[in-house]
Structure 1
Amino acid sequence: MKIAITGPTSGIGEITFKKLASSAEQLFLLARNKEKATQLISELPKAHQEKVIFVPLDLADLDSVIKASELIKSQSDFLDILINNAGGIFNKKHITKDGFELSLSANHLGHFLLTHHLMDLLLKSKSPKVINLSSEAHRAAKVNFEDLNYEKSNYASFNAYANVKLFNILFTKSLKEKYGEKGLQSFALHPGVVKTNFGQESGGIFKLFWKLATPFMITPEEGAKTTLYLAQTTLPNSFNGYYFKNSKPLTPSSTARSKEMRDQLWSLSEEKLAKWL
């Protein structure tokens, strides 16, 4: 298998990367930090290191996303699995150089653009998959499509995060609708509440919740299990577009199942990314 994964230098992504290294024919490691990526690759057995290609990627810099997709295309003529693992919650509002709120760019727009530019490679695979890391936080989403940059309302880190995790599921279902007949399978998943550094960049009540919940959190190894299950298991097409938790299908929120919402998100994403599409 030829696999690409974003955000593999820590937490769930690191475990997923290491577990897939043995079975992958070629493994694209997409990350911002070259030093961390180099260190991670060096920890693999020599035979596995040779399979890995580091691809610089900053999801908050859409030119970087374009360059990453071009590098992958120059190294392979097909791609079996794209794992959109990277993401984060951000304490303060930040507008990227491209003019987008950071959590929107890092959790949704960057992956939307990357998937778009790698779609030709994916569709050349015999069994292509896109796996999107979402969260049960999507159930708390309150989306205002007219104010995604929080120019009219106060920015709240958890609300911004819940919204983009909803977008991950809507995006997954749209991929199934648009490319399922061409052979693509897409899945979204909740990895569990994992004990990583994830919550450190949040603030307010969410940071307090994260601290209180820490003793009950699962390990990154446990958190990676559903991603690995979806990557390594041949699932029937009846599960295409589904949302998973604990390696089993789970019904997401009614908003996450809304065709109107996913169509609106897709159109809006294309509109915002027109310059890079």
Structure 2
Amino acid sequence: MPTLQAPIGSGFGPASTAAEVITGIDLTGKNVVVTGGYSGIGVETVRAFRSAGATVVVPVRDMAKAQEALRDIPGVVLEDMDLLDPASIDRLAERVLAATDSLDILVNNAGVMAPPLSRDARGYESQFAANHLGHFQLTCRLWPALRRASGARVIALSSYGHRRAGIDFHDPNFETREYDPWIAYGQSKTANALFAVALDSIGQHHGVRAFSVHPGGIVTGLVRHMSQAQIDASEILDKEGRPIIDPQNNKKTPQQGAATTVWCATSPKLDGMGGVYCADCEIARALPSDDSTEMHGVRPRATDPVAAGRLWQLSEQLTGARID
């Protein structure tokens, strides 16, 4: 039976931090992979898992940057991988599978937001490729280790940006329609949420559960493609250029932004659950329509099981990856 898309009373909230959420959780002997674990909320996600004793592997595109970002978190294993390079995804998965028998937590955290039009090695639009297809391929390749973990969880980083667009199944890679960076971003974030719906429906029979997460609005390197006018309109910085922190209104620190990911990956309250979209360390409530103007909650387009199944099939076709 699917988990209801409704709050469960987690005991945490918008201002909770990853350190608070991980308190009392023991991950000794557990294996974790966190993509994008060397910038923004990824660093705080890795910090939380390491503080609880987990072995953490971080796939990295820029080794020097990763070493610098994680220098104060000892014991993190860094491995080369580029989500826009399918061959590098396969190589990373082979190394992880060779190094460990089981994978307890996979956090598909890396992403890009609203860049100019570019394409991956296969010719696919970069946001759909990096945010969704690359992670789809990685998850499929790591599936044997996830199955062997007996209770693995996969976390997909979505966003309330899913409000901007659903999946255009006729032209997901902007081959015929005009490219809009924010529509492409919205499509990729809807894809992240639908990925969790589909993966959970497959994985729950093997002890693997999946969740999608809206971390909140955090000023990280993701904003590098935003114009100054867009940054000003979003009201994420004060007059001195410092991030505005207001967790109740979706403006968070990186430590607060990592909290929902860590909660979904480790909370005993989520045992036996999955396939839901979470925010503010809680299962988000379902909104009535895709055109809702509410900031909080999840729109139907991001939880539709039919769309999730259709996206899964499309992703198999585009990547050649599948779960056996």
Asked if TM exceeds 0.5, the reply is: yes
Residues 124, 246 of structure 1: CA spacing in aligned structure 2 closer, same or farther, 3 A cutoff? same
Asked whether the 8 Å contact 1:141–1:163 carries over to 2, the reply is: yes
Determine the C-alpha separation between the residues in 2 that align with 1:156 and 1:86: 21
For 1:185-237, what per-residue CA distance to the aligned partner results, in whole angstroms no more than 9, with x for missing partners? 11111001112221122359745534x33335321111111111122212345
Instruction: After TM superposition, list the pairs within 5 Å mapping 1:28-67 onto structure 2.
Output: 28-44=57-73, 48-49=74-75, 52-67=76-91
Percent identity of equivalent pairs: 30
Instruction: After TM superposition, list the pairs within 5 Å mapping 1:238-253 onto structure 2.
Output: 239-250=273-284, 251=286, 252-253=298-299
Instruction: After TM superposition, list the pairs within 5 Å mapping 1:27-106 onto structure 2.
Output: 27-44=56-73, 48-49=74-75, 52-106=76-130
Q: Which segments of structure 1 move beyond 4 Å, counting only runs of 4 or more?
A: 203-208
Stretches of structure 1 lacking an aligned partner (at least 5 in a row) = none
Determine the C-alpha separation between the residues in 2 that align with 1:238 and 1:140: 31
- Please state if 1:269 is matched with 2:303: no
For 1:42-88, what per-residue CA distance to the aligned partner results, in whole angstroms no more than 9, with x for missing partners? 322xxx42xx2211111011111101101111111111000000011
Residues 205, 104 of structure 1: CA spacing in aligned structure 2 closer, same or farther, 3 A cutoff? farther
Match of 1:172 among 196, 199, 208: 196
Match of 2:53 among 24, 30, 40: 24
Q: 1:238 deviation in Å?
A: 5.3
Higher helix share: 1
Asked whether the 8 Å contact 1:157–1:203 carries over to 2, the reply is: no
SS in 2 for 1:123: helix
Asked whether the 8 Å contact 2:166–2:301 carries over to 1, the reply is: no
Asked whether the 8 Å contact 2:167–2:190 carries over to 1, the reply is: no
Q: Which residue does 1:123 correspond to in 2?
A: 147
TM-score by length of 1: 0.92
Stretches of structure 2 lacking an aligned partner (at least 5 in a row) = 1-29, 238-243, 246-250, 287-297
Instruction: After TM superposition, list the pairs within 5 Å mapping 1:105-144 onto structure 2.
Output: 105-144=129-168
Query: Is the deviation greater in 61-70 or in 228-237?
Result: 228-237
For 1:10-31, what per-residue CA distance to the aligned partner results, in whole angstroms no more than 9, with x for missing partners? 1000111112112234211111
Q: Which residue does 1:213 correspond to in 2?
A: 236
Residues 141, 238 of structure 1: CA spacing in aligned structure 2 closer, same or farther, 3 A cutoff? farther
SS in 1 for 2:142: helix
Query: Is the deviation greater in 252-261 or in 176-185?
Result: 252-261
Asked whether the 8 Å contact 2:33–2:105 carries over to 1, the reply is: yes
TM-score by length of 2: 0.79
Q: Specify which structure has the bigger relative contact order, considering alpha-carbon pairs within 8 angstroms and separated by 6 or more residues.
A: 2
For 1:124-178, what per-residue CA distance to the aligned partner results, in whole angstroms no more than 9, with x for missing partners? 1122000111001112214321112212111111110111100011000101111
Determine the C-alpha separation between the residues in 2 that align with 1:14 and 1:62: 24
Asked whether the 8 Å contact 1:60–1:110 carries over to 2, the reply is: yes
Q: Which residue does 2:183 correspond to in 1?
A: 159
